[in-house]
Structure 1
């Protein structure tokens, strides 16, 4: 029986990406060291949730924060609130923003908000794009890093200029910071320094942090007060969210100090991909966080066949998911975490040598 790419990846001795398997053990490990008498949160109140919200608000440098079960819910609500404040239903963001391509038009269908798409889909939003926005924009959303184009980042000076422009024109600025922690080593800034440029901020707890789920929406006191009302309207006030919160808190403390390591690992790994393998390159060429995209000048099925052979011969699993990029090309996303440092360097080198060889054979 021929293995699929995902099956080959899951049975590889050394999977390269991520922190580990997302299984029940992740939650069991969280509760193993906790006092079973800790009270749960109840409908958004209680020490468990309130202390965590205060902790993350302080980390982000914002007056207040609210825990949400999902970033999708948090960000739609954030944009809704800014639109209501400004009396406009227009928000601006990148054509490949999560709200535009991954949420089944929730912003439009649930909130009747009109997105204005800035820049070309294959590049970052620039100050010039912002200056050319049409009138009546209530809020501009910036995603740092821009995931769908490989996790690219604007220069921090460009970010400051965009923030200053928006403030001068009373346009709210919202940060999609799903991967905020991961970019801080590159910028050499604290989370609070980055977030000071934004009126509201969303961060995730299941990406680089590696929690099971959950998000924080942070901003001013009145903003978060109103967000709680909309959280209830969206059905986000579960009777208890403590499994997500306690796990997020543990993962935050454990993995936040490792973000520099994850970033340096990504730079190292991208160097192996860019070491002369014909038709294979990374985007960006040098990563600015722990993530990047690998692009190949081969159809999806062809590249999967090459990768499966590499996994089976070396035990190194590079990815479990290759996507069609059109025009006979393909790509996949790499996001590094706790797994990467455990991979023997000689085995990793062997895998890339074999990848080089098999790509060369295929290209003939």
Structure 2
């Protein structure tokens, strides 16, 4: 395939893109700033009304004593685990084998903080209470990611979370929440963010995933924890002279979208249902538990790229620009529902799925 016919190029040319909130361009910042007084003072090295008001707002929303704004979740979570390790005098933590810290951060936790991770559960399964109870190693902190992104955004039963939280508190193990997509799971659990966060000693949330801001994260916990996190933030170089473009966009899109998560969730279930009627296609989970899920194809990555490129050119509707191979005969992509899905004509979406079904049936041995 030449570049003009590549999946990425075909996707860019589509009129409708079913996932996310739209193209990540400068318009995101322009929209967030459109009603801001240009004379408003910026934050300066972590201080000032802009950052302090937002931190207070998020602490209240998450039900924690205090919160600190970070330029990235990678920085925030490494710092959280470092604080809990230092408090216990033990540099061991536990998390899922497909945790972001393990597979996407170039061993930052190990190289920067000399913290040893203990991997719990099979990589294709969620961490359950028995995994924690049977753990032989003594650890300072357990990290749970809700939802578990790399296996389709799966979630444990809420009772499991409660049981793990109780066990950790009884054993003196700190419990940290990787809540990069916390807002997105509230409709499934039918709980408030504060109710879920009450099970955890510390929590991180992202403002560019489901919320659709530019970048940035909040780390929340008790006052002592957040005070220490500010020191580590400075040590990591996270105290930029001003973070207001990230803060203002996070605040703006939080207000715009956090109450729409139930709508996105329902739309994700509808779309997954269509995919699951298609030959050689399945979703993980079979019924999504948030606005995000994985779409699996019983076909090689290269063939699916050709098929999807053709469908995009024929219909003007894009599903994804990035397919990941699993084996020689299977592949998948991740899909998150946001503002764009509602703007896509539903009959045209059904037509895309119909075409997908036809074309996959045309592949031999499927």
- Answer yes or no: is 1:232 the counterpart of 2:230: no
Paired with 2:158 and 2:69, the residues of 1 have a C-alpha distance of 28
Paired with 1:122 and 1:235, the residues of 2 have a C-alpha distance of 35
Deviation of 1:23 (Å)? 0.4
Paired with 1:280 and 1:263, the residues of 2 have a C-alpha distance of 20
Paired with 1:259 and 1:363, the residues of 2 have a C-alpha distance of 40
Match of 1:48 in 2: 50
Q: Which consecutive unaligned segments of at least 5 residues does structure 2 have?
A: none
Deviates more, 1:113-122 or 1:345-354: 345-354
SS class of match (1:130): helix
SS class of match (1:91): strand
SS class of match (1:321): coil
Match of 2:258 in 1: 256
Out of 118, 121, 140, the position equivalent to 2:120 is 118
Deviation digits for residues 306-333 of structure 1 (CA, Å, limit 9, x no counterpart): 1111111111101110001124211100
Paired with 1:133 and 1:199, the residues of 2 have a C-alpha distance of 20
Deviation of 1:278 (Å)? 2.2
Match of 2:145 in 1: 143
SS class of match (1:333): strand
- Answer yes or no: is 1:79 the counterpart of 2:99: no
Paired with 2:162 and 2:262, the residues of 1 have a C-alpha distance of 23
Out of 17, 20, 40, the position equivalent to 1:18 is 20
Match of 2:354 in 1: 353
Deviation of 1:202 (Å)? 0.1
Match of 2:11 in 1: 9
Paired with 1:346 and 1:264, the residues of 2 have a C-alpha distance of 17
Deviation of 1:6 (Å)? 1.3
Paired with 1:4 and 1:176, the residues of 2 have a C-alpha distance of 35
TM-score by length of 1: 0.99
Q: Which consecutive unaligned segments of at least 5 residues does structure 1 have?
A: none
Deviation digits for residues 238-269 of structure 1 (CA, Å, limit 9, x no counterpart): 00000000010000000001000100010000
After superposition, the CA RMSD in angstroms is 0.8
Match of 1:316 in 2: 317
SS class of match (1:292): strand
Spell out the pairing of 1:1-364 with structure 2 (5 A cutoff): 2-275=4-277, 277-363=278-364
Paired with 1:133 and 1:183, the residues of 2 have a C-alpha distance of 27
Paired with 2:261 and 2:364, the residues of 1 have a C-alpha distance of 37
Deviates more, 1:337-346 or 1:174-183: 337-346
Deviation of 1:78 (Å)? 0.1
Deviation digits for residues 181-237 of structure 1 (CA, Å, limit 9, x no counterpart): 000000000000000000000000000000000000000000000000000000000
Paired with 1:32 and 1:45, the residues of 2 have a C-alpha distance of 23
Paired with 2:185 and 2:212, the residues of 1 have a C-alpha distance of 16
Deviates more, 1:298-307 or 1:92-101: 298-307
How many residues are aligned here?
Answer: 363
Deviation of 1:363 (Å)? 3.2
Deviates more, 1:326-335 or 1:212-221: 326-335
Paired with 2:139 and 2:106, the residues of 1 have a C-alpha distance of 22
Paired with 1:305 and 1:43, the residues of 2 have a C-alpha distance of 49
Paired with 1:120 and 1:297, the residues of 2 have a C-alpha distance of 23
Paired with 1:46 and 1:237, the residues of 2 have a C-alpha distance of 13
SS class of match (2:362): helix
Paired with 2:7 and 2:136, the residues of 1 have a C-alpha distance of 45
